[in-house]
Structure 1
Amino acid sequence: MTSGALPGGLIALPGVYQPQADTRFLAEALAQEDVGTGTDALEIGTGTGALALHVAGRGARVTAVDVSWPAVATARLNALRRRVPLRVLHGDFAARTAGRRFDLVVANPPYVPAAGLRLPSRGPERAWDAGPDGRGVIDRICAHARFLLRSGGVLLMVHSAMCGPEETVGRLTRAGLAAGITARTSVPWGPVLRSRRAWLERQGLAAEAEEWEELVIIRAQSL
């Protein structure tokens, strides 16, 4: 496995988000970071555990958190199958890591805009639905990032350009972190976006007949 490659052969229990283009994009960004023995890392929203295992495979001590029990079970199973030490916790990332600080925080949060005002409490939609502006989880990560990072620690987060990357950079900067957009890529619309095309167009979040979604990597470092 190269430093930018995700582990293969992972299982996914029903309803668990499987690694896709955004996961691979974040893995490429991780390849640019100095990660190794002695690195304490946190993954927010681990899903199958792909990114957590990727980081652990480079020698880091990794804690992974997810609100979904099926995701927690999946990540634990994948860690056991690969014989990689991985601490996987169930619940809200802020509550489960209270009082702890990390050298690296990785997040591929839900970021797809959805008509519902509340975040879903069950089902596979928890992995992508993020409120009308797509920022239901992103803003919480921005608010807690400075409390999660040690001095010099780095947050890497991927999300869609549809939900305001400049807003993310602004929030992190106002929190006292050195933040910016470090990479961009475009991927074809998937089935979730296609299924709500009319609503996205009415909200002004997508142009008519748009077929490509821009993804960005946000990097923020504690000073």
Structure 2
Amino acid sequence: MYQPQADTRLLAEALSSEDLAPRTELLEIGTGTGALALHAARRGARVTAVDVSWPAVASARLNAWKLRLPLKVLHGDFGTRTAGRRFDLVVSNPPYVPAPGTRPPSHGPERAWDAGPDGRAVIDRICADAPSLLRPGGILLMVHSGMCNAGQTLDRLTRAGMTAAVTAKAAVPWGPVLRSRRAWLERRGLAEEAEEWEELVVVRAQLH
């Protein structure tokens, strides 16, 4: 199971700045171990968490049970599992690592990070679907790598009718996945030669 990393901690800090009034309805897309979902549930939000991985779903449910926190964890595609529902807040730490191949993997641990040649396979879906997932005035919080072009994320969300900005950044050392793809990332123009630090960004967008 992929354990929470610096990106999850950065997003948790951003979530801590949001007003989670009692009965706030929150959706987490790609919950993993449930760290962010449980962080919100602890503050009183009514949380629905979705993940395509059965091990992730099982882990999140187990962690909720251990902490005795109410958490609804669904298995499957977030668009399908949340059809017809709207939320006050949507949070996501989606797969965003650029990877060779035309589409993200359908199984294996790589599903937690691989996101197609530009790293935007899931990010773009969230940008497109966010307005239909949010109530008026609702907020999207999403973290991803600077390699994925934060400007493109802001443009897509703005075109979708949202006010969007990068509200937090952090620099973290390259992990083993990026190091193993150095030559490919450099050929794609996604990384500079001898680069060792990755920028993480938190995007906050609000529906008009």
Distance 2:67 2:16 in 1: 20
Measured against aligned partners, the alpha-carbon deviations of 1:166-223 in whole angstroms (never above 9, x if no partner) come to 0000000000011111111100001110011110011100000000000000000011
State the Cα distance separating 1:55 from its structure 2 match. 0.4
State the Cα distance separating 1:158 from its structure 2 match. 0.1
State the Cα distance separating 1:37 from its structure 2 match. 1.0
**Which residue does the alignment assign to 1:135?**
120
Instruction: Please tell me whether residue 222 in structure 1 is matched to residue 207 in structure 2.
Output: yes
**Which residue does the alignment assign to 2:38?**
53
State the Cα distance separating 1:25 from its structure 2 match. 0.3
**Which residue does the alignment assign to 2:185?**
200
TM-score computed with the length of structure 1 as normaliser: 0.92
Matched residue pairs, number?
Answer: 208
Alpha-carbon RMSD across the aligned residues, in angstroms, is 0.5
Distance 1:163 1:45 in 2: 18
Distance 2:200 2:174 in 1: 11
**Which residue does the alignment assign to 1:24?**
9
**Which residue does the alignment assign to 1:4?**
none
SS of residue in 2 equivalent to 1:42 = strand
Query: What are the residue-to-residue correspondences of 1:181-192 with 2, within 5 Å?
Result: 181-192=166-177
Distance 1:77 1:184 in 2: 31
Letter in 2 for 1:20: Q
- Long gaps (5+) in structure 1: 1-15
Give aligned-pair identity as a percent: 75
- 2:145 pairs, out of 160, 174, 184, with 160
**Which residue does the alignment assign to 2:84?**
99
Distance 1:62 1:195 in 2: 36
Distance 2:21 2:15 in 1: 12
Distance 1:79 1:43 in 2: 14
State the Cα distance separating 1:38 from its structure 2 match. 1.6
State the Cα distance separating 1:36 from its structure 2 match. 3.0
TM-score computed with the length of structure 2 as normaliser: 0.99
**Which residue does the alignment assign to 1:116?**
101
Letter in 2 for 1:145: A
